[in-house]
Amino acid sequence: MKKLFFLLLTLLGASNLFAQKTTSLSIKFDNFIGNDPVELNTKSYKNQAGEDFNISLLQYYVSNIQLVKKDGSVYTVPQDDSYFLVRQNRPETQTITLKDIPQDKYVGINFIIGIDSARSAAEIGYRKGCLDVAGDAQDMYWAWNSGYIFVKMEGSSPQSTLKENIFMYHIGLFGGIGDKKTLNNIRNVSLAFNKETIKLKAGKVAPVIRIKMDASKILNGETTVSIAKNPSVMGGPYSAKIAENYKSMFSYNGIGMPAPTEKTSLGLK
């Protein structure tokens, strides 16, 4: 009996010894227009079409996050922990926290802009937190089209022909379900950490990955979007041109350390 007891202790000790050590990692999204931080309502910007505009609302989804290791392999964040809605008017959503990340050396990150088709079509019970269409996602979901809005930017411009000179870009569409095919405006992002290596170690405070989001790319890219000609874009064919623009709006912005009281977003939970 004693031998069996000591054998169990030995096995438990070995199990703890080889258990994967993990830690948390934060990502801070810094929202800009070109080289200027986004300021809602108060600051005027100019697009490549020469049109003046300001921004009253800016928000977007990032999801399906992968961390690229130094050896070239990837760690895929579990899906339920990998959906985030970043809002300019809610600073706490601009820093997201990934939990239980294996300690290792990381040199890059992959994610998508938007919500993948599987989760978009999943039962309501699998869409909680920032995907709750009756809660936090209410203003990022088309009930008429049964789909999430991936990127939303609104504001005003003297060149807009809409009432009160407003403009609005609500870009979504994930390809559709079954015979109901649509455009697929999901876009993939892959960022290297510019020869830097982030070393994660259990028990130590992890650095913050800073990612710059340049919202000017929504208007300026492969297609120069004229607010005068296209003051409102949602689900039509032109939305694909804006999606091709915004796929390049993210860039690596260095490594920082977390603020002592920094609030973060924890995805679906």
C-alpha count within 13 angstroms, C-beta hemisphere, residue 110: 13
Q: Given this model, what pLDDT does residue 179 score?
A: 75
pLDDT tens digits for range 73-92 = 999 999 999 999 999 999 99
pLDDT at 7 over 70: no
For range 6-18, the mean pLDDT: 47
Q: What are phi and psi of 221, to 5 degrees?
A: -175, -135
Round the average pLDDT of the chain to a whole number and report it: 90
Contact 211, 190 (CB under 8 A): no
pLDDT at 267 over 70: no
Q: 205 falls in which pLDDT band (50, 70, 90)? A: confident
pLDDT at 104 over 50: yes
Q: What is the DSSP string of the chain?
A: -HHHHHHHHHHHHHHHHHSPPEEEEEEEEEEEETTEE--BTT--EE-TTS-EEEEEEEEEEEEEEEEEETTS-EEEPPGGG-EEEEETT-GGGGEEEEEEEESSEEEEEEEEES--HHHHTS-GGG--GGG-TTTTTGGGEETTTTEEEEEEEEEE-TT--SGGGEEEEEEE-EEEETTEEEEE--EEEEEE-TT--EE--TTSPPPEEEEEEEGGGGTSSSS---TTT-SEESSSTHHHHHHHHHTT-EEEEEEE---TT---B-TT-
pLDDT tens digits for range 22-43 = 999 999 999 999 999 999 999 9
Q: Given this model, what pLDDT does residue 4 score?
A: 53
Q: 16 falls in which pLDDT band (50, 70, 90)? A: very low
Looking at per-residue pLDDT, the higher value among 143 and 34 belongs to: 34
Q: Given this model, what pLDDT does residue 260 score?
A: 54
Q: 1 falls in which pLDDT band (50, 70, 90)? A: low
CA distance 124 to 117: 14
